[in-house]
Amino acid sequence: EPEVTQTPSHQVTQMGQEVILRCVPISNHLYFYWYRQILGQKVEFLVSFYNNEISEKSEIFDDQFSVERPDGSNFTLKIRSTKLEDSAMYFCASSMSGTGELFFGEGSRLTVL
């Protein structure tokens, strides 16, 4: 069964460092998303991406964040200068259509020290 894959599963970084989280969405999906979940809290929407551009983003997704689909298969989330409060589980998701079922990856746990 096709699935969304994410790497790394866990990353530890120092405050101020750049981090890139990678996702390979399901191959025939057209809509891509990043969500995050701070430990013990609910899952929060960060950004949606369609047709090689951001279609919607939340207030969390500030100038420190960027997304890219560099090669037609990977979908990346970059955090330019990490802060302690960026520590969270980051989930990538994809769907066939804008209102269709979302399929989530297993998450990348980011720990900022």
Partner 1 sequence: GIQVEQSPPDLILQEGANSTLRCNFSDSVNNLQWFHQNPWGQLINLFYIPSGTKQNGRLSATTVATERYSLLYISSSQTTDSGVYFCAVERSDDMRFGAGTRLTVKP
For position 104 contacting partner 1 by CB under 8 A, the verdict is yes
49 CB burial (10 A radius; 0-12, 13-18, 19+): buried
What is the closest distance, in whole angstroms, from the C-beta atom of residue 35 to partner 1 in the complex?
Answer: 8
Q: Hey, which residues between 2 and 41 contact partner 1 (CB under 8 A)?
A: 31, 33, 35, 37, 41
For position 1 contacting partner 1 by CB under 8 A, the verdict is no
Helix, strand, coil % (nearest 5) of the chain?
5, 50, 45
The stretch among 19-27, 65-73, 74-82, 95-103 that binds partner 1 (CB under 8 A) is 95-103
Name the residue type at position 113.
L
Alpha-carbon distance 95 to 55, whole Å?
14
For position 106 contacting partner 1 by CB under 8 A, the verdict is yes
Q: What are phi and psi of 46, to 5 degrees?
A: -105, -55
Choose, by CB under 8 A, the member of 29, 77, 103, 112 that binds partner 1: 103
CB distance 90 to 107 below 8 Å: yes
9 or 81: CB nearest partner 1: 9
Binding site for partner 1 (CB under 8 A): 31, 33, 35, 37, 41-45, 48, 50, 55-56, 58, 89, 91, 93, 98-104, 106-107, 109
